[in-house]
Amino acid sequence: MKFAVSEPIRTIKPYEAGKPLKEVEREYGITHAVKLASNENAFGFSPRVKDAVNRHLSSMNRYPEPVAHSLCRKLADRFGVGFDNLVLGNGSDDIIALLAHAFLNPGDEAVMPLPSFLMYEISVKTAKGVPVMVPLTDFTTNLPGLADAVTPKTKMVFITNPFNPTGATLTKEEFSAFAGKVPEDVLIVVDEAYIEFVRDASVYNSLETPLSDPRIVTLRTFSKAYGLAGFRIGYGIMDSEVAEILNRIRQPFNVNSLAQAAAEAALEDEEFLAKSIRATHDGIDFLMAELGGMGLEVLPTQSNFFMVDLKTNAKEIFEKMLHKGVVVRSMASYGFDTFLRVNAGTPEENTTFITALKEVL
C-alpha cells in the first residue's frame, strides 16, 4: 500500500467472527445447520421485543434519540444509579473503544489478560495505546499478574467476568484483593457480558454495590442473556465524570431506534429472561454430563458456554463438524489447540452437537 498506515494499526489482527449459518450451509451444501459458536442466546428474545420493534418501524425515517431517556431511566432504576452514570453503546464494544480513545494518550498502557476479547487490544491500538498482555493461570485471569503489570504508564486494566473463552470467574474476595493493589488513577474496566448466567453466589458482581469505587467501569450487554445480539446494544455504568467524557465523544446516534425499543422491552420482561437462563443452565448441565460420559474434560463454567478438551487437533474436529452442519469454535487462535468452545443451544441443537461429535471422534 502506498499510503502510510500507523504501526499500531498495522499490527492489529482482524477480529474473527463465528461463521454465519447461511454461509456454512452455502459453503458445505447442507441445510438446517446448528450454530453453537458465538455464545448467542438460542431461545431468542422476549415476545415484547417484536411488538416494540413493530411499533417503532413507522418512525424509522427519523433519527433516533441521541440519549435514550426511557431506557436509561429503567436501567438507572434497576441498578440504583443515576441517569448521569450511564453510557449506551452499539454493543459494549462501542464503549470499550470510547474508553480507549478518551483516556489513552499515545504510549499509554492498558493491561489485559492473554488471551481475551480481541476488541480490548484493537481499541487500545487504534487509540495509539500499548496493550500489555498477562497470560492466564490455569485458564483463569491472573489477577496478581495483572496488578504486577501496572506501571506509571498504565491508564486502565481490563477484567472479564465470567471470562471468555474459558468460562472461569473471579470471586468477590479475589477481586477486592486485586483492586486494593491498583493505583487510584487507573480505571478498572469490568466486562460482565455473561454475568446473568452466573449461578455461584461467591462470584464478583460489580453492580451488587454500584459506584462504590469510582475507578470501576462496568460493561453490560443485551446481546447474550437478553437475546438481542443482532440489535447491537450495550451499556456501561460508571462514575459520572467518566460517563460525561464518554457521552461527550460518542457518536450522537450510536444506538438506533429499534435497538433502544428492543432493549427497553427486553428489560421489562423478567419472566422471559428467567426462563431463558434456566433453559440455558439445563443445556449446559446436559452437555457437560454427555461430554463427561464420553471421557472428555470440560472446563468449569459460570456462563452459557464452555471449553472442552478433545486431546487432539481441535481445528480438524471443527472442520469435520462443519461438514455435519454443526458450527462450534476452535480455540486454536487463542493458543488452545486441543479445545473447542461451545455454547448451550436448544435441547435439539445440543443433541445434534453430541451426536455429531461422537461420529467425528
In the chain, where the domains are located = 7-44+271-360, 47-269
Question: Amino acid identity, residue 230?
Answer: G
Helix 314-323 with 347-360: angle, nearest 10 deg:
120
Beta-bridge partner residues of 156: 110, 187
Give me the CATH topology for the region 47-269. Aspartate Aminotransferase; domain 2 (3.40.640)
**Average pLDDT of span 201-217:** 97
- How high is the mean pLDDT of the chain? 95
DSSP code at position 264: H
pLDDT at residue 214, as a whole number: 97
With 90 as the cut, is the pLDDT of residue 247 above it? yes
| Arithmetic mean of pLDDT, 202-220 | 97
Nearest alpha carbon to residue 287 among 279, 172, 104: 279
pLDDT of residue 1: 60
CATH of 7-44+271-360, one of 3.60.40.10, 3.30.70.260, 3.30.230.70, 3.90.1150.10: 3.90.1150.10
**298 bridge partner residues:** 308
3-state secondary structure of 179: helix
In this prediction, residue 139 carries a pLDDT of 96
pLDDT confidence of residue 263: 98
**Which amino acid, one-letter code, is at 104?**
L
Q: What average pLDDT score do residues 94-102 get?
A: 98
pLDDT score recorded for residue 294: 97
* Cell numbers standing for residue 145: 499478574
72: pLDDT strictly greater than 70: yes
Residue 31 pLDDT: 75
The lowest-confidence range among 3-17, 58-72, 205-219, 260-274 is 3-17
Q: Among residues 198, 165, 191, 193, which one has the least CA distance to residue 280?
A: 198
